[in-house]
Structure 1
Amino acid sequence: MATYKKRGHKPKTKAEKVEAIEENSTTAEVFNTLDEGASKAEDWAVKNQNTIFIVVGLAAAIVLGYLGYNKFIAEPKAEEAMNEMYTAQKYFEDAVNGTEKDSLYTLALNGGEGKYGMLDIVNEYGSTPAGNLANYYAGMAYLNLKDYQNAVKHLSDFSTDDAVLGPVAKGGIGDAFVQLNQPEDALEYYEKAIAASTNDYTTPMYLFKAANLALELGNSDKALQYFKRIKEEFSGSTEAANIDVFIGRAEAKN
């Protein structure tokens, strides 16, 4: 059992003297080891100081380069892209709200009055938020022009966390697949639209589309589940107006 020894205690017996010598020897070895380790570390640092400076310099350059890129290249380019997209966006909005839709959607895609269209924005500014948003506009324009392959392509390239645009983009892909006679793919994307966000606008709309498509595909259980969800959760929606009729159809096929 270890015993506490007062400071300054002098060994009296032979055993105590031996123990003191061993303790002093061990302590010396520890300090020698530490000194050797420190010396080796210092020697390594001296020999490799150029490498250390290069690594530190590269790390600093990467950080400063990233900050500089964002400040002087990425941010100005993103702003420029948004400015360039203004006219194409106006064409798209006019197409949604007015007449001569096909020609206006075409102008939204290809540009007019010497201004970029959505396809130009995608090609020139694809890495910017405007370039991403241009994929959405291009995809929806193609969908309205009945060019379903290109609609799928551009809507698939669009990414967002927006509670409305996200589901609408996924639902637009579903609409395109319906027209391409790919109902299983269409149902998959309607379900992705449902999962993307829960709101009173897009959710009942895509629940209704998914339910009807599931019914056509012979999956009456899934159809019934979706119809009932409309009735229970979105009773004030347009889709809920005659929902009992659709529930009855699904139940009849069970």
Structure 2
Amino acid sequence: MAKKNNIGRRPTGTPNRGRKEGGNQEIRIEEDGDDKLVDIIEVREKGMDFFERNRKPIIGAVLALIFIVAGALLYQTFIAGPAERNAAQQMQQAQFQFEQDSFGLALTNPGQGYPGFLEIAEEYGSTDAGNLANYYIAVSYLNLGQYEAALDYLEDFDADGELLPAMKMGVMGDLQSELGNLDAALSSYEGAVDAAGKNYVTGGYYLNKLALLYRHQGQTENALEAFRRLKTDYGQSAEAAQADKYIAALEG
């Protein structure tokens, strides 16, 4: 005779912990010798009663959540997205002038009816392109010798990602150096090297600036350490090719 399938059945020898009685669907649970009755209907009615008493705030909270999600999607689709694309298009001519070292034109009048970086930063400040315009403005003012104005815009620039934090700290070092705040410049260049990580282009560039400023300040040991690190950590950088020359001069 085939064996019966016992899957889902109560194992033999274990106590029966509950039973149904009549229409009230009561479950009897034995615990430490005391009987406790759990009325399923009563529990269900209490849950329904809670919902009835709090119907308005519950529904209101659900509707509020729906409106928040829908509003965020609508904002991204019809406002933020188009504004981002428009800002990027508007900035192309200013970027062209910047690359030609025409910093004054890039700031205010890049030509062909396009706005300069100053107007873009003001009009599209909430977009990524508008934020990046702050960096371009800072570098432009740095090259025009307007260091305080450059510093103001650089502080408004929100650097994010792998490359931009090092670039921001590096420009900060340049500005502090031009303003005569050499200790602050050293700190900024150190921050730029740290932010660059293994990127030999930005890391080598700012480590070289750090080493040269140490040398200018008469901090020979720090300068030597920086130039040696330039060779070992950023040997692929263009600046590393000149490191031996400075090391020999500092050691001699």
TM-score category (smaller protein): 0.7 to 0.9
Indicate the SS of the match to 1:202.
helix
Q: Which moved more, 1:210-219 or 1:41-50?
A: 210-219
Relative distance call for 1:150 and 1:30 in structure 2 (3 A) is: farther
**Do the aligned residues in 1 keep the contact of 2:29 with 2:37 (CA within 8 Å)?**
no
The whole-number CA distance in structure 2 between the counterparts of 1:129 and 1:6 is 68
The structure richer in strand per residue is 2
The whole-number CA distance in structure 2 between the counterparts of 1:44 and 1:220 is 76
Give the counterpart of 1:59 among 54, 65, 77.
65
Q: CA deviation at 1:60?
A: 0.8
The whole-number CA distance in structure 1 between the counterparts of 2:108 and 2:29 is 89
Which residue in 1 is equivalent to 2:78? 72
Q: CA deviation at 1:65?
A: 0.7
Q: Which has the higher contact order (CA 8 A, sep 6+)?
A: 1
The whole-number CA distance in structure 2 between the counterparts of 1:189 and 1:65 is 41
The whole-number CA distance in structure 1 between the counterparts of 2:107 and 2:220 is 40
**Do the aligned residues in 2 keep the contact of 1:88 with 1:108 (CA within 8 Å)?**
yes
Which residue in 1 is equivalent to 2:227? 227
Q: Which moved more, 1:51-60 or 1:221-230?
A: 221-230
Which residue in 2 is equivalent to 1:89? 95
Relative distance call for 1:30 and 1:182 in structure 2 (3 A) is: farther
User: Could you list the per-position Cα deviations for residues 102-156 of structure 1 after superposition, in whole angstroms to 9, with x for gaps in the alignment?
Assistant: xx31121112544211011111101101101111211111111011112222223
State the TM-score, normalizing by the size of structure 1. Answer: 0.78
Which residue in 2 is equivalent to 1:193? 192
Q: CA deviation at 1:241?
A: 3.2
Relative distance call for 1:39 and 1:221 in structure 2 (3 A) is: farther
Partner amino acid for 1:187? L
The whole-number CA distance in structure 2 between the counterparts of 1:30 and 1:189 is 72
Which residue in 2 is equivalent to 1:111? 109
Which residue in 1 is equivalent to 2:172? 173
Relative distance call for 1:30 and 1:210 in structure 2 (3 A) is: farther
Q: Which moved more, 1:225-234 or 1:73-82?
A: 225-234
The whole-number CA distance in structure 1 between the counterparts of 2:225 and 2:185 is 18
Structure 2 residue ranges without an equivalent (≥5): 1-12, 17-27
Percent identity over paired residues: 36
Task: Determine if the alignment matches structure 1 residue 50 to structure 2 residue 56.
Answer: yes
Indicate the SS of the match to 2:184.
helix
Structure 1 residue ranges without an equivalent (≥5): 8-20, 96-103
Partner amino acid for 2:221? D
The whole-number CA distance in structure 2 between the counterparts of 1:45 and 1:86 is 57
**Do the aligned residues in 2 keep the contact of 1:151 with 1:173 (CA within 8 Å)?**
no
Task: Determine if the alignment matches structure 1 residue 215 to structure 2 residue 204.
Answer: no
Partner amino acid for 2:52? V
**Do the aligned residues in 1 keep the contact of 2:172 with 2:185 (CA within 8 Å)?**
yes
**Do the aligned residues in 1 keep the contact of 2:173 with 2:188 (CA within 8 Å)?**
yes
Q: CA deviation at 1:47?
A: 1.2
Partner amino acid for 1:31? V
Indicate the SS of the match to 1:126.
coil
Relative distance call for 1:216 and 1:5 in structure 2 (3 A) is: closer
Indicate the SS of the match to 1:146.
coil
Relative distance call for 1:181 and 1:199 in structure 2 (3 A) is: same
The whole-number CA distance in structure 1 between the counterparts of 2:34 and 2:48 is 24
Relative distance call for 1:168 and 1:6 in structure 2 (3 A) is: closer
Indicate the SS of the match to 1:31.
strand
Q: CA deviation at 1:184?
A: 1.1
The structure richer in helix per residue is 1
Q: CA deviation at 1:77?
A: 0.8
The whole-number CA distance in structure 2 between the counterparts of 1:124 and 1:215 is 43
